[in-house]
């Protein structure tokens, strides 16, 4: 090797921050300091508690030989609890950083309905936060409330299909997804038209609760016009024929007024 030349050997480091139940801790703080070559790294874990760090120099070769292996000190922290460990970066490393946390609030994971969602009048709306979970493996309860209609689950007066094929109010309170304004599975849930502020509260059996609110609207929307042209229009169609035979379309309720020209047929349908 020529004088002044170097070859760096790099490795990857995966940190998994967990609690005493071996559940990954999302958004935990991770600091990694190195004994040589590399600057300090500060980052947060993903939703599963992992942080992947790649291509850190474990040793450096020169014409005099190899350097000692780099030591990495991994410190993790969450909710004022911290821990640290040191490993040699002489190969790809997987490091568990265990935090003995007190009981934590659940993680609210709300899928549907999305914020600012708009739905047709008396149309079906799915309520789903079944991906919510708890670090301590506690049982969770779910409460869905509308500022217009109050307790949404209380409106579900159906009894389900039964025999394990339907869901009950208790299932919904335990986190089962459900749909309002539909006879699906005979749930009988109702949600009125209007602008609703929907509040979801998820609680564990240790008394820790988290809430989130979203706004949705159920509205009687204007009809959609679908226009059929016979024969089918092409870039070479006779537009003058269409202009000469413009139709005055009048819609009242579900009725349709239809006019057809001898050379070009026009049919309009209202979709309400």
Whole-Å CA distances, 107 to 27, 29, 213: 11, 17, 15
pLDDT digits (tens, 9 = 90+) for 137-190: 999 999 999 999 999 999 887 665 444 556 888 999 999 999 999 876 667 889
Question: What totals of helices (H) and strands (E) does the chain contain, helices first?
Answer: 2, 17
Phi-psi region of 37 (alpha: psi -120 to 50; beta: other; left: phi over 0): left
pLDDT digits (tens, 9 = 90+) for 186-233: 678 899 999 999 999 999 999 999 999 999 999 987 777 777 777 777
Whole-Å CA distances, 100 to 17, 30, 202, 209, 261: 11, 16, 23, 21, 80
Contact 164, 184 (CB under 8 A): no
Share of the chain above pLDDT 90, in %: 69
Could you give the residue range(s) of every CATH 2.60.40.10 domain in the chain?
A: 7-98, 117-219
The CATH code of domain 7-98 reads 2.60.40.10
Report whether pLDDT(268) > 90.
Answer: no
pLDDT digits (tens, 9 = 90+) for 111-142: 999 999 999 999 999 999 999 999 999 999 99
Which one is predicted more confidently, 157 or 267?
157
Contacts 24+ apart (CB under 8 A), 5-9: 5/62, 5/63, 6/60, 6/61, 6/62, 7/60, 7/61, 8/37, 8/57, 8/59, 8/60, 8/61, 9/57, 9/58, 9/59, 9/60, 9/61
Report whether pLDDT(257) > 50.
Answer: no
Contact 82, 76 (CB under 8 A): yes
Indicate the average pLDDT of the chain: 87
In whole angstroms, give the CA distance from residue 234 to residue 216. 41
Three-state DSSP state, 197? strand
| Residue 102 CB partners (closer than 8 Å, separation 6+) | 79
Q: Does domain 117-219 have CATH number 3.40.50.920?
A: no
pTM strictly above 0.85 = no
| Residue 262 CB partners (closer than 8 Å, separation 6+) | none
Share of the chain above pLDDT 70, in %: 82
The pLDDT assigned to 262 comes to: 44
Report whether pLDDT(80) > 90.
Answer: yes
Report whether pLDDT(270) > 80.
Answer: no
């Amino acid at each position: 090797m020529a004088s002044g030349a170097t070859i760096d050997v790099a490795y990857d480091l995966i940190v998994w921050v967990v609690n005493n139940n071996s559940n990954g801790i999302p958004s935990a703080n991770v600091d990694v300091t190195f004994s040589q070559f590399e600057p300090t790294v500060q980052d947060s874990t993903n939703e599963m508690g992992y942080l992947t760090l790649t291509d850190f120099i474990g040793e450096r070769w020169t014409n005099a030989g190899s350097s000692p292996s780099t030591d990495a000190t991994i410190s993790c922290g969450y909710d004022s609890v911290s821990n640290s460990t040191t490993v040699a970066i002489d190969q790809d490393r997987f490091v568990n950083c265990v935090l003995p946390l007190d009981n934590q609030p659940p993680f609210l994971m709300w899928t549907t309905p999305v914020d600012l969602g708009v739905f047709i009048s008396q149309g079906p709306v799915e309520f789903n936060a079944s991906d919510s979970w708890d670090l301590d493996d506690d049982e969770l309860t779910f409460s869905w409330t509308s500022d217009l209609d109050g307790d949404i689950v209380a409106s579900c007066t159906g009894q389900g299909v039964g025999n394990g094929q339907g869901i009950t109010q208790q299932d919904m309170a335990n986190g089962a997804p459900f749909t309002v304004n539909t006879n699906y599975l005979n749930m009988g849930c109702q949600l009125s038209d209007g602008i609703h502020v929907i509040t979801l509260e998820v609680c564990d059996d240790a008394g820790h609760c988290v809430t989130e609110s979203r706004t949705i609207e159920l509205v009687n929307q204007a009809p959609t016009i679908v226009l059929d042209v016979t024969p089918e229009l092409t870039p070479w169609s006779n537009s003058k024929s269409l202009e000469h035979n413009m139709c005055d379309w009048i819609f009242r309720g579900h009725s349709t007024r239809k006019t057809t020209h001898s050379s070009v047929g026009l049919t309009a349908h209202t979709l309400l």
